[in-house]
């Protein structure tokens, strides 16, 4: 009757086999550390601007690139996952540098497509007005204006002199080193830090 729905998802469990075995296999798969390296996998760009992957015999026409330590170790332990809702892990790249140059570039491209975290290089102006702060900064993506709430978690100190700023839209800006700014710029941030 109403079987026109998404019935064709990937087989969660191989039910032809004994179920116990399938369950065990799945839980083992979750635990297993599978590393992708130049030897067992090959990435290539798709026409649509995504990344395809061939691991051994298996081919994926689109994979997701997830940084596991995006702030501290962006090039290590990159998780490559299936592109659907479940986003099952295909494998980890232990260190991006170990891959061939062209492969590295492709993955970097995908990271840039997926992540948008501008780094603040220069603070031009911060103005507070009735509960909101209006920022004008120069980021590595160019000059940019954004708005944050005044108190609360708008500016968060993650560690040492490193700060994270979240604007009212949910965009994230990074200030890697407060003391890399000039004294005048730091003064403008007085209200937050």
Site mask, other proteins, residues 53-92, x = CB under 8 A?
--------xx-------x-------------xxx------
38 in contact with other proteins (CB under 8 A): no
Which residue lies nearer to other proteins by CB, 92 or 146?
A: 146
Cβ 32 to other proteins shortest distance, Å: 20
Shortest Cβ 142–other proteins spacing (Å):
5
- Would you say 136 and 190 are in contact if contact means Cβ atoms under 8 Å apart? no
Q: Which two tokens stand for residue 3?
A: 């079987």
- For the CB of residue 39, give the shortest distance to other proteins in the complex, in Å: 26
Q: CA–CA separation, 123 vs 5, rounded Å?
A: 52
How many whole angstroms separate alpha carbon 54 and alpha carbon 43? 6
Output the CA–CA distances (angstroms, integers) from residue 88 to 72, 79, 180, in the order listed: 24, 10, 40
One residue of 63, 110, 120, 163 binding other proteins per CB under 8 A = 110
Report phi then psi at 144, rounded to 5.
Answer: -155, 140
Residues 150-179 that bind other proteins (CB under 8 A): 151, 167-172
């Amino acid at each position: 009757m109403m079987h026109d729905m998404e019935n064709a998802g990937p087989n969660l469990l191989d039910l032809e086999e004994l179920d116990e075995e399938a369950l065990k296999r799945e839980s083992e798969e979750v635990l297993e550390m599978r590393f992708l390296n130049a030897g067992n996998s090959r990435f290539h760009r798709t026409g649509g601007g995504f990344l395809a992957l061939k691991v051994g015999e298996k081919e994926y026409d689109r994979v997701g690139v997830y940084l596991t330590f995006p702030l501290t170790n962006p090039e290590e332990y990159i998780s490559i996952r299936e592109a659907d809702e479940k986003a099952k892990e295909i494998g980890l790249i232990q260190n991006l540098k170990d891959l061939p140059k062209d492969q590295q570039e492709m993955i970097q491209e995908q990271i840039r497509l997926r992540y948008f975290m501008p780094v603040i290089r220069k603070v031009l102006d911060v103005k507070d007005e009735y509960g909101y702060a209006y920022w004008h900064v120069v980021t590595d993506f160019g000059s940019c204006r954004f708005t944050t709430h005044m108190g609360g978690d708008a500016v968060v100190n993650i560690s040492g002199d490193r700060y994270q700023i979240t604007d009212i839209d949910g965009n994230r800006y990074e200030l890697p080193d407060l003391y890399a700014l000039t004294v005048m710029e730091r003064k403008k941030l007085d209200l937050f830090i």
